[in-house]
């Protein structure tokens, strides 16, 4: 941001050459504030939409001055203070999901401490608990909580927030090495108020990224900027992480998210119903809450399916429907898909051996099934690229990513391939 302001001063100097009248300059140009540059757009803030009329005659001059200063032609996106929240819902990284806020996060015994600390952090980032480390099993609300912190901090303190799943951090880092843009990569991080990294356990075994993250961490921490991390396990169980990194994770506050107890499950179901504007009888809610115990994502998924079924049947979602369908939903949700099973089915389908599938042989009749197996593994199992790579004979995780992206593209164009993949998935 500081850099952008400095460049902006230069833009103004360049612009002054073409707009000589000081009064005009002060009235129309001075109030423009640069916000960010992204995807060939420069986001400029003006006080209100009407203001645009006054400056419209200078736009070409302005674009020229920007081009002269920055060296690339940029299109302008105008934003106004009211619309600022949309464009500033994140600083860089991934967009925050607007559904993941504290308003929609149900508090219970299972998450009391994490919830309270999260709010304190959003209100006074960098002061209360730094770093803040949240861990817990799949579907217990880590992503929801960490994003809620980001949203609240933007809303109350107008913070610069970046939410980055660890996998993306790793990829950004690798990209910046390949494209020799390390400095930009680093500067982006150093100007943040809050860095939210989701699923930090993913950094295990990636020494280069760990080293870079260590530097990012130190730099932000040194400036008293807030760092929030989530993980599927506590710091001391992150065995393949460098010790110095693990010890830093423990400097601040470490809290866990537990599976929700019955009362919280009921409250969550009620909240979700409220958000969807539907009302369910207590006995229906109790029945669902009694039967799905350890994962909020499953709880929510089952509720959604039941709602869909009742709509489809055009019947009220009552205890009979729940009793009839919940078992089925649960058994399909619980059908665990493993990479081993995927490999077995793919090999069967294409009539090749599992050994070949895991090998590095480049024969076409093996390469495509292999890519399919890799693709399905990534789509259908909740595992990391590294883990999948291991299961395919110890390849590099980039191989999996490559195969995944390639197949995804092909599936959009090739309906025959798509049918095959669907058949294999259904057979799992």
Using CB under 6 A, list all residues that contact ligand ADP.
104-106, 111, 136, 138-144, 268, 271, 296-297, 300
Least distance (Å) between residue 165 CB and Mg ion: 8
Query: Long-range CB contacts (< 8 A, 24+ apart) of 328-337?
Result: 329/301, 329/302, 329/305, 330/291, 330/292, 330/298, 330/302, 333/298, 333/301, 333/302, 335/428, 337/380, 337/381, 337/428
Least distance (Å) between residue 117 CB and ligand ADP: 14
Task: Give Cβ neighbours of residue 121 (< 8 Å, ≥ 6 apart).
Answer: 128, 129, 132, 149, 153, 226, 228
Least distance (Å) between residue 134 CB and ligand ADP: 9
- Binding segment for Mg ion among 12-20, 102-110, 137-145, 218-226 (CB under 5 A)? 137-145
Residue closer to ligand ADP by CB (options 57, 275) is 275
Is 231 an interacting residue with respect to Mg ion (CB under 5 A)?
no
Handedness of CA 327, 328, 330, 334 (dihedral sign): positive
139 binds, among ligand ADP, Mg ion, none (CB under 5 to 8 A by kind): ligand ADP
**Cα angle value 9/10/11 (rounded, 5°):** 90
Residue closer to Mg ion by CB (options 297, 305) is 297
140 binds, among ligand ADP, Mg ion, none (CB under 5 to 8 A by kind): ligand ADP
Residue closer to Mg ion by CB (options 100, 130) is 100
- Cα–Cα distance between 310 and 249 in angstroms, integer? 46
Residue closer to Mg ion by CB (options 142, 272) is 142
- Cα–Cα distance between 428 and 381 in angstroms, integer? 12
210 binds, among Mg ion, ligand ADP, none (CB under 5 to 8 A by kind): none
For 51, the enclosing helix (H) or strand (E) is: helix 51-55
Residue closer to ligand ADP by CB (options 11, 238) is 238
Least distance (Å) between residue 230 CB and Mg ion: 7
Judged by CB under 5 A, the residue of 100, 111, 130, 143 near Mg ion is 143
* Exposed e or buried b per residue across 327-337, where buried means at least 16 C-beta atoms within 10 angstroms of its C-beta: eebbeeeeeeb
Residue of this chain nearest to ligand ADP (CB atom): 141
Residue closer to ligand ADP by CB (options 125, 136) is 136
Least distance (Å) between residue 129 CB and Mg ion: 20
Token pair 């949203």 is at which residue? Answer: 151
Residue 291, both tokens: 């039967």
Least distance (Å) between residue 332 CB and ligand ADP: 18
Enumerate binding residues for Mg ion (CB under 5 A).
Answer: 142-143
């Amino acid at each position: 941001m500081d850099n952008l302001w400095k460049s902006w001063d230069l833009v103004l100097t360049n612009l002054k050459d073409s707009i000589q009248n000081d009064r005009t300059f002060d009235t129309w140009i001075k109030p423009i504030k640069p916000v960010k540059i992204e995807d060939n757009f420069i986001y400029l803030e003006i006080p209100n939409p009407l203001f645009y009329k006054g400056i419209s005659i200078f736009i070409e001059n302005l674009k020229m001055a920007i081009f002269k200063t920055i060296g690339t032609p940029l299109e302008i996106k105008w934003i106004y203070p009211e619309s600022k929240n949309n464009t500033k819902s994140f600083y860089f990284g991934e967009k925050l999901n607007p559904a993941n806020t504290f308003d929609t996060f149900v508090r219970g015994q299972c998450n009391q401490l994490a919830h309270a600390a999260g709010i304190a952090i959003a209100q006074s980032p960098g002061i209360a608990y730094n770093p803040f480390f949240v861990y817990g099993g799949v579907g217990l609300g880590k992503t929801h909580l960490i994003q809620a912190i980001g949203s609240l901090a933007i809303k109350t303190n107008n913070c610069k927030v970046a939410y980055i799943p660890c996998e993306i951090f790793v990829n950004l880092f690798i990209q910046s090495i390949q494209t020799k843009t390390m400095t930009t990569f680093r500067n982006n991080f150093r100007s943040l108020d809050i860095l939210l990294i989701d699923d930090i356990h993913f950094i295990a075994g990636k020494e280069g990224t760990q080293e870079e993250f260590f530097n990012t961490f130190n730099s932000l921490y040194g400036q008293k900027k807030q760092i929030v991390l989530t993980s599927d396990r506590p710091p001391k169980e992150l065995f393949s992480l460098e010790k110095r990194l693990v010890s830093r994770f423990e400097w601040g506050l470490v809290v866990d998210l537990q599976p929700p107890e019955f009362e919280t499950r009921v409250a969550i179901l009620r909240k979700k119903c409220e958000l969807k504007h539907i009302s369910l009888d207590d006995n229906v809610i109790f029945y669902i809450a009694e039967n799905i115990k350890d994962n909020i994502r499953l709880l929510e998924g089952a509720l959604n399916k039941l709602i869909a079924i009742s709509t489809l049947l055009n019947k009220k979602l009552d205890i009979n429907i729940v009793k009839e369908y919940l078992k089925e939903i649960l058994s399909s949700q619980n059908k665990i898909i493993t990479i081993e099973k995927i490999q077995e089915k793919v090999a069967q389908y294409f009539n090749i051996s599992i050994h070949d599938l895991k090998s590095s042989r480049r024969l076409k009749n093996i390469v495509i099934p292999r890519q399919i197996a890799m693709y399905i593994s990534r789509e259908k199992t909740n595992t990391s690229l590294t883990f999948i790579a291991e299961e395919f004979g110890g390849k590099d995780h980039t191989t999996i990513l490559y195969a995944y992206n390639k197949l995804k593209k092909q599936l959009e164009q090739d309906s025959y391939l798509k049918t095959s993949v669907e058949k294999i998935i259904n057979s799992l």
